[in-house]
Chain A
Amino acid sequence: MLKIIFTLYIYFFSIGTAHAYIDPGTGSIILQAILGFIAVILAGASFYWNKFKLFIKKIFKKDKDANP
């Protein structure tokens, strides 16, 4: 987890710069971009993790069915 944050932290050091008025809350917008990114990665990871768990369960179920 910390590794992910660290990597993203380094990545977002070079956040894109261009044109828009900035109010004092802009820091939180950049932060949300990071948090959102992490959230999507975690959601994706949890999706594949659940799929993987289901796959393993199925294998064991098959084994059980094969040897009642």
Chain B
Amino acid sequence: MQILKAEPGSFRDPYGKIFYVDDNILRVARYDGINRINFISKNNLLEKLISQDYLIDSKITNQYDSIIDNIEGKIIIKHKKIPFISYPYEWSFEQLKDAAIHHLDLHLFLLENNATLIDASAYNIQFNINKPIFIDILSIKEYVEGEFWLAHKQFCENFLNPLILKSKKGINFNNWFKGNLDGIKTEEIYSILNIKDFFSYNIFTNIFLMNYFDKKILKEESKKKIDLGKKKLSKVALVSILKQLRSFIKNLNYVKSKTTWDTYSQNNTYKKNEEDEKKKIVTNFILKNKFNHLVDMGCNDGVYSEISLSSGCKLVVGFDYDLNSVENAYIKAKNENLNLLPLYLDAANPSSNLGWNETERKGFKARAKFDGMLALAFEHHLAIAKNIPLEQTLKWLINIAPKGLIEFVPKNDETIKKMLLLKGDIFNDYNEQNFKDIILKNAKIVSEHNVSASGRKIFEYNVL
């Protein structure tokens, strides 16, 4: 029997909700949502949006009418499944920039086709592996001549302000965005920019003036009301605003601050032959298991993700807490068209269930459904650097996927020596035997390989 499940995070749009039937993703449109779907279906707009990779593959279907029988007057749209749902606070600068450009390109394309977008939520963009794609068909509606871009401020707070924060101030937007799911507020970004920054036309208008008018209106609201009924924005003007923003965002960059990890794959403590051996172990593990969805914990710039893909793995989702590494891996995935989605994750403070009722945005654990895992040179960043007990670290890792490779890094390894230099050795339980015993409590050990003269060892486990 097919089971119907409502998506708890789909509640903001009164005209449509997401449901799951087994592995199928269904959007049920009602009320004005039906008019929007009918409009999009006309003039081949739906086909054009899908064929030009603006919108996720979506089909109107009546296949599920009998399962969703408690909702009257509806249209059901079946969407293609996104391999891994990610959120803007897990993206690197370049990923958010590409998402912003995709949003603006979609809006410009819609305006050419007499349609527009009702919102500008960054959550409506997902990464279909290495390319951004729009997922919310019900955000598209018929364009009415003269209407304002109601989502202008939302666009700025979801896309523009976080990008400016990184570009002009060198501050990563991720943790700030995770704290306020609506992005970086105009008044917040305004207060940290300086006069020099406001010389930019786009920053002056979209931040300085936006903040000024917001404040002015709040002051005046109690005294008198502002009439916007007669004011109109021509399509030419709207297109021009969108193009201005597109060109500004396209040219936004930031000065990369050097981190320990962004050159790790070239400058690490391994010798050439040790690294080759490690690559061989990964290749054999992937060849043997042929995973559909592999997770690469501490993926760095994606060296082992790439090896996994070339060895037959279908998709890799990589996580790293170094944003420069995530950026490098994303650029590589994009340029070489790899089935790799790198994302930001601080494993000691992973994305948790957030938003309304703590179900709107799912945490890492709720989304982490992988059939294989690589955790190479990773565990000591939790067990040593973050003082997370070894038993908890390994249990957490093994729970991510039923099969995997976990590398043990001994205390006499140079990286751990550095970590313990000031802290001192306070980790009495951290040794290879204990490491092995903990894995054995949670899984079978399939194989173990020495990979460095310092005593690094890769364990292959299997919980099945």
Report which A residues bind B (CB closer than 8 A).
1, 5, 9, 15-22, 24-37, 39-40, 42-43
Q: CA–CA, A28 to B161, complex, Å?
A: 14
Can you list 12 pairs linking A and B with CB atoms under 8 Å apart?
A: A22-B225, A27-B214, A28-B213, A29-B150, A29-B152, A31-B209, A31-B210, A36-B233, A36-B234, A36-B237, A36-B240, A42-B240
Q: Does B204 belong to the interface (CB within 8 Å)? A: yes
Inter-subunit contact B229/A20 (CB<8 Å): yes
Inter-subunit contact A18/B226 (CB<8 Å): yes
Q: Does B149 belong to the interface (CB within 8 Å)? A: yes
Choose one: B149, B213, B221, B227; the contact of A18 (CB below 8 Å). Answer: B227
Report which B residues bind A (CB closer than 8 A).
148-150, 152-154, 156, 201, 204-206, 209-217, 220-221, 224-231, 233-234, 236-238, 240-241, 244
Closest chain A residue to B237, Cβ basis:
A36
Number of A-B contacts (CB under 8 A): 108
Residues of B within 8 A of A43 (CB): 236, 240
Choose one: A15, A19, A21, A32; the contact of B241 (CB below 8 Å). Answer: A32
Inter-subunit contact B213/A20 (CB<8 Å): no
User: Contacts A27-B217, A32-B148, A40-B236 given: A20-B209 contact, CB under 8 Å?
Assistant: no
A39 → chain B closest CB, angstroms: 4
A11 → chain B closest CB, angstroms: 13
Residues of B within 8 A of A37 (CB): 237
Residues of B within 8 A of A34 (CB): 205, 209
Inter-subunit contact B153/A30 (CB<8 Å): no
Interface residues of chain A: helix, strand, loop or mixed (majority)? helix
Choose one: B206, B221, B233, B240; the contact of A33 (CB below 8 Å). Answer: B233
Residues of A within 8 A of B233 (CB): 32-33, 36
Inter-subunit contact A27/B213 (CB<8 Å): yes
Inter-subunit contact B149/A32 (CB<8 Å): yes
Closest chain A residue to B154, Cβ basis:
A25
User: Contacts A5-B204, A28-B152 given: A33-B231 contact, CB under 8 Å?
Assistant: yes
A55 → chain B closest CB, angstroms: 24
Closest chain A residue to B235, Cβ basis:
A36
Residues of A within 8 A of B225 (CB): 17-22
Inter-subunit contact A27/B236 (CB<8 Å): no
Residues of A within 8 A of B231 (CB): 29, 33
Inter-subunit contact A27/B149 (CB<8 Å): no
Closest chain B residue to A39, Cβ basis:
B240
Shortest beta-carbon contacts, A-B, top 9: A18-B227, A36-B237, A27-B213, A39-B240, A27-B214, A28-B153, A28-B152, A39-B237, A25-B153
